[in-house]
Amino acid sequence: MFTGRTPSRPRPRRPAVRPAAAAVAALAPSPRLGGAVLAGSVAGAALLLGAAGARADGLDAVEGTHTTALVEKGHHIALRLDRGHAELVVQRTVHNGGARREQAVFLLNLPQGAVATGLASLGLKSGQPFWFRGDLMEAEAAAARYHGLAGSTGVQPSSDSALLSWRSQSFLALQVFPCAPGQPKTVEYTLRMPTTYREGRHHLSLPRVGTKTLAATVIVSAARPGDRLFLDGKPISPGATFQLAQDETDLALAPRPSLALDGAFSSSPLGSGRELVALRINAPARLSEPPRNARVVVLLDASRSLRESEGAAALAAARAYLAHLDGSLVEVLTFDREVHPRHGRFVPAARALADLDKLVLHRRNGSRIDDALARADALLAATPTGLPRRILALTDLHTRSALTPERLGAALKSGALVHIGVPATGSPSLARDEGNPFAAPVRATGGLVWTARASDRPGDAGEMRRVYEEWVRPLRIEHLGVQLRGFDRSELGFGEQLPEGEGLKLLRLHSDHVAQAVLTGELWARPVRRVFTQDQAHGRLWSALVLGTELLDSLTEPEMTVLAFRGGAVSPVTSYVASAPGVRPVNVELGGGGMGYGSSNCGIIDRAGTTGSGNPFDHRAFLRRALEKAFGECPGGAERARVSVETTIDEVVDVPEIKLVGSEEAAVRECLGEAAWGLALPRGFRERFARYEIEVSR
């Protein structure tokens, strides 16, 4: 479970976990591989144990099952950074320098929180390079299909197969066959990772990625136009490349400027009565902007009740405030029992600032704050309509008993926004004084009464400017509340405020469906309310990403299955298998121990019997024929499409994604989607869960 503010830094990366002996046994090869005589399973197990040992430094291991002549030649990552998550499409190329076909085994050490959501193998189709996309299946069924494809003596040498399977939360195994002698072989897998939001940017922390001898090369892009990229704090352009060769690399994405809250919410059923509730809310880097060309009146209390040190603090606070209002016109009024203008007209902010540097407050009796406010209000009422109007009063509010909050409020008629600061000496800080008797009439203008600690020491000038920007524009949402049905406010742990550039995050298993998340609060005295409704894409994303969090241990096996298929992710119960179309799996013996929730033998094995897992029906070919026929009858536009189809036995249970190439037209998408939903699957579809990525063209 994660609840609360997005952490200021990512959690430490978990240590590498060596695969258990059962897992190594599961990966052990058979004595034969596609008809070629190879070393025995003991040698294969020793190879994998050695590769596992190489993971002690957190790196990957890449080996041939029976030869050292298979080496990795390329490791490239196309990383697309989005708000809340990143997608890494990883391509790895090996070269088989041996004399016979070989299986490549990749032991993949995942970055913190990463999950695998795709697999493809580059092979040949009609003599041309072609990516064979992987299907997500139950782990045992995927292993059986891969074993049949890669281990059958009847499979043609040009057929391609790959298996991506779970070994632990930070460790996957990728097997690829065949790697032809003297030829390169490329495989692709996709990872998704959550980002951490802080200081107005989405951060992705990556360790060194690759093997001891070859670090990954990354090309980075932003998922949304206008978002900016940063590498270790320095701006970079989309398409920039770099190597993940250092212990930690920080990538960051700054959303294009906006004053709106960003976020996403989902409540996804687990099929057990429980729901996975996921929420992120990010305050923009700037929640507001300073007023432009404003008309401003500053009121300075010159009464005897204000101590000399408090008067100095008031002058320092006024200077820090006006430093943010370049381009505005300002009048300064001092007051005791009378009101005294400093300039007699509005002057540029720079001139008013210079005058404050030499101003000496002569203390007198009387504290006519209401008269000063009325004079300021009248001055502003005479300014051109449409211009921002501001009043800042610096006073101890020690005044006569006849002055009531109602009478003070009656002096304000121009629509100006008013702040009252009660000055005190000390380290620069501002705090809302909600309980002040005069807070109500000031709140009615949109402003607040504040306790204002200030310093006139030169060394504090920078901090003064930073703190007192909050009188110029609101910097945080106060009185923060997040309403989620069935959740107590106290258990959410979000606190009372949300500063700009910071975020809130929740990931929770819940006993009931939650329809929406509602954020409430205030910017100064202005109410803020934002409703986050159900986002299906966010639900699919976190159905996958939850498998990389501590919530994994709280899920039952059936709940994992629902989440893994919804999110398209490798898990303890699911694996990806990619193969060339037309290849028929054969019956295989699933010997050995396996590991975890049905994550059984993921190596090349003998055809030594049957298990009932064999299925000669070509599911992908059926789906491709049916969808390609429907695609040809859809309205013109897109030339190619990729359709994601999820099945349970002979039922289509979801069509989570349709990607069009050539044109993005709703009519084509709707037509192809309806065709997918209308499929009548034959009895050859017998797997309890499966996901297919079908590419069609016309």
User: Which span out of 445-454, 622-631, 675-684 was modeled with the highest average pLDDT?
Assistant: 445-454
8 A C-beta contact, residue 456 and residue 315:
yes
pLDDT, one tens digit per residue, over 572-627 is 999 999 987 654 333 322 223 333 333 333 332 222 222 333 446 888 889 999 99
Name the strand (E) or helix (H) holding 267.
strand 262-269
Q: In what order do the strands lie in the sheet with 249-254?
A: 196-198, 201-206, 249-254, 228-231, 234-236
CA distance 596 to 64: 25
pLDDT, one tens digit per residue, over 68-101 is 999 999 999 999 999 999 999 999 999 999 999 9
Q: What is the DSSP string of 367-406?
A: --HHHHHHHHHHHHHTSPTTS-EEEEEE------TT--HH
Cβ neighbours, 10 Å, residue 530: 16
Q: What is the pLDDT of residue 322?
A: 97
Please check the confidence at residue 16 and state whether its pLDDT lies above 50: no
Going by pLDDT thresholds of 50, 70 and 90, the confidence category of residue 4 is low
Q: What is the pLDDT of residue 53?
A: 45
Q: What is the pLDDT of residue 194?
A: 98
Please check the confidence at residue 467 and state whether its pLDDT lies above 80: yes
E strands, 145-183, in order = 161-168, 171-179
CA distance 189 to 547: 17
Residue 520 pairs with which residues in a beta bridge?
481, 529
Among the listed ranges 53-62, 149-158, 668-677, which one has the minimum average pLDDT value? 149-158
Among the listed ranges 50-64, 135-149, 640-654, 674-688, which one has the minimum average pLDDT value? 50-64
CA distance 403 to 438: 10
Q: Which long-range contacts (CB under 8 A, 24 or more apart) does 262-266 make?
A: 262/83, 263/530, 263/532, 264/84, 264/532, 264/535, 264/537, 264/538, 265/516, 265/517, 265/532, 265/533, 265/534, 265/535, 265/538, 266/534, 266/535, 266/536, 266/538, 266/539, 266/542
Percent of the chain with pLDDT over 90: 71
Name the strand (E) or helix (H) holding 52.
helix 41-53
Computed over every residue of the chain, the mean pLDDT equals 86
8 A C-beta contact, residue 451 and residue 467:
no
Residue 133 pairs with which residues in a beta bridge?
120
> Minimal CA–CA distance to 502: which of 285, 290, 205, 279?
285
Beta strand 329-335 with 295-301 is: parallel
Averaged pLDDT for residues 674-691: 86
pLDDT, one tens digit per residue, over 422-437 is 999 999 999 999 999 9
Please check the confidence at residue 330 and state whether its pLDDT lies above 80: yes
Q: What is the pLDDT of residue 1?
A: 55
Contacts with 397 (C-beta within 8 Å, 6 or more apart), sequence order: 369, 420, 422, 436, 438, 449
Please check the confidence at residue 339 and state whether its pLDDT lies above 90: yes
- Phi, psi dihedrals of residue 159, rounded to the nearest 5°: -70, 150
8 A C-beta contact, residue 17 and residue 564:
no
Please check the confidence at residue 43 and state whether its pLDDT lies above 60: no
Beta strand 102-109 with 171-179 is: antiparallel
> Minimal CA–CA distance to 28: which of 53, 55, 51, 46?
46
Q: What is the pLDDT of residue 597?
A: 31
Q: What is the pLDDT of residue 52?
A: 46
Number of H helices, E strands in the chain: 14, 39
Structure token pair of residue 395: 């006073």
CA distance 202 to 282: 10
Name the strand (E) or helix (H) holding 674.
helix 666-677
Averaged pLDDT for residues 286-310: 95
Structure token pair of residue 576: 């990806």
Cβ neighbours, 10 Å, residue 648: 15
pLDDT, one tens digit per residue, over 181-221 is 999 999 999 999 999 999 999 999 999 999 999 999 999 99
Averaged pLDDT for residues 21-45: 32
Residue 200 — left, alpha, or beta (φ > 0 → left; ψ -120 to 50 → alpha)?
A: left
E strands, 433-581, in order = 449-454, 476-484, 498-499, 503-510, 516-523, 526-533, 574-579
Contacts with 488 (C-beta within 8 Å, 6 or more apart), sequence order: none
The interaxial angle of helices 557-567 and 536-545, nearest 10 deg, is 130
pLDDT, one tens digit per residue, over 228-286 is 999 999 999 999 999 999 999 999 999 999 999 999 999 999 999 999 999 999 999 99
Q: What is the pLDDT of residue 35?
A: 26
Structure token pair of residue 175: 């097997």
Put simply, whether the predicted model's pTM sits higher than 0.85 gets the answer: no
> Minimal CA–CA distance to 395: which of 452, 339, 444?
452
CA distance 263 to 530: 10
Cis peptide before 178 (omega within 30 of 0): yes
> Minimal CA–CA distance to 64: which of 104, 36, 97, 93?
104
Cβ neighbours, 10 Å, residue 169: 21
Contacts with 548 (C-beta within 8 Å, 6 or more apart), sequence order: 110, 112, 113, 114, 115, 169, 193, 194
Q: What is the pLDDT of residue 7?
A: 52
Q: What is the pLDDT of residue 581?
A: 63
Name the strand (E) or helix (H) holding 143.
helix 139-151
Please check the confidence at residue 39 and state whether its pLDDT lies above 90: no
Structure token pair of residue 366: 């009387």
Among the listed ranges 8-17, 95-104, 626-635, which one has the minimum average pLDDT value? 8-17
Please check the confidence at residue 157 and state whether its pLDDT lies above 90: no
Please check the confidence at residue 472 and state whether its pLDDT lies above 90: yes
